[in-house]
């Protein structure tokens, strides 16, 4: 939502400056844009590094979900700021050396469109996770095949859902005539690396 609001503000200000151009202090503006670009690139690198290391260590499901999406939103926010700074630098150079004063406002519109696109994508991904509406059939089928193929075990309940950008949780209930334990099935499912949080229940059935 915040990125969408930023895009709307950028678009409004850009249109206003196209209609009523204002004088631009190119040297001062270029200095600020370069500083902003460096700061935002550094922030983006730090957030990306934290996301990668956070995934490698793993956390609780509820925390993973909010941690990953908060990091994704923050990362996109600073990348959007970096893009804005980059477009501003290009526009200011064009205005200063080529006299294309309107380029600043036009680049603002381009940046607004790109940021709005990122914002919509992030909101859609978050909504699918919150509403548990993602297509996890292929992952669930892998779990079912690993448990059932070549065995007498049968899956009677299976639910897979996303808890992070690249992490899933799984609950599976199995019936078996064999004396098989939940730990044995967990070891078999360990090869499904996308599943970070696994709950297995085994019921004995003659």
* CA–CA gap between residue 17 and residue 13 (Å, rounded): 6
Q: In this model, does residue 63 exceed pLDDT 70?
A: no
User: CA angle at residue 87 from 84 to 89, to 5 degrees?
Assistant: 110
Per-residue model confidence (pLDDT) at position 58: 45
Average pLDDT over residues 185-194: 92
User: Mean pLDDT across the chain, nearest whole number?
Assistant: 79
Strand arrangement, sheet containing 195-204: 154-162, 168-176, 195-204
What torsion, rounded to 10 degrees, do the Cα atoms 164, 167, 168, 174 define? -150
* CA–CA gap between residue 142 and residue 157 (Å, rounded): 14
What global pTM score does this model have? Answer: 0.45
Average pLDDT over residues 82-105: 82
Q: In this model, does residue 191 exceed pLDDT 70?
A: yes
Instruction: Tell me which CATH code domain 137-204 carries.
Output: 3.30.70.1350
Q: Taking the domains of the chain in order of start, what are their residue ranges?
A: 2-130, 137-204
Residue closest to 8 by CA, chosen among 123, 111, 122 = 111
pLDDT digits (tens, 9 = 90+) for 125-139: 666 655 555 568 889
pLDDT band, very low/low/confident/very high, at 61 (cuts 50, 70, 90): very low
Per-residue model confidence (pLDDT) at position 54: 52
* CA–CA gap between residue 50 and residue 172 (Å, rounded): 31
Percent of the chain whose pLDDT exceeds 70: 79
């Amino acid at each position: 939502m915040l990125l969408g609001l930023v895009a709307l503000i950028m678009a409004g200000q850009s249109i206003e400056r196209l209609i009523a151009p204002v004088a631009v202090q190119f040297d001062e503006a270029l200095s600020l844009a370069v500083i902003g670009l460096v700061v935002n690139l550094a922030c983006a690198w730090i957030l990306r590094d934290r996301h990668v290391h956070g995934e490698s260590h793993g956390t609780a499901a509820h925390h993973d979900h909010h941690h990953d999406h908060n990091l994704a939103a923050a990362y996109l926010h600073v990348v959007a700021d970096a893009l804005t700074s980059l477009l501003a630098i290009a526009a200011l150079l064009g205005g200063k050396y080529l006299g294309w004063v309107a380029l600043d406002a036009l680049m603002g519109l381009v940046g607004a469109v790109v940021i709005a696109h990122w914002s919509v994508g992030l909101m859609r991904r978050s909504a699918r996770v919150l509403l548990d509406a993602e297509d996890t059939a292929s992952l669930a089928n892998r779990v079912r095949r690993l448990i059932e193929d070549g065995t007498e075990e049968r899956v009677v309940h299976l639910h897979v859902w996303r808890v992070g950008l690249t992490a899933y949780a799984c609950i599976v209930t199995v019936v078996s005539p064999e004396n098989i334990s939940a730990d044995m099935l967990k070891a078999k499912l360990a090869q499904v690396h996308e599943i970070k949080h696994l709950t297995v229940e085994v019921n004995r059935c003659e």
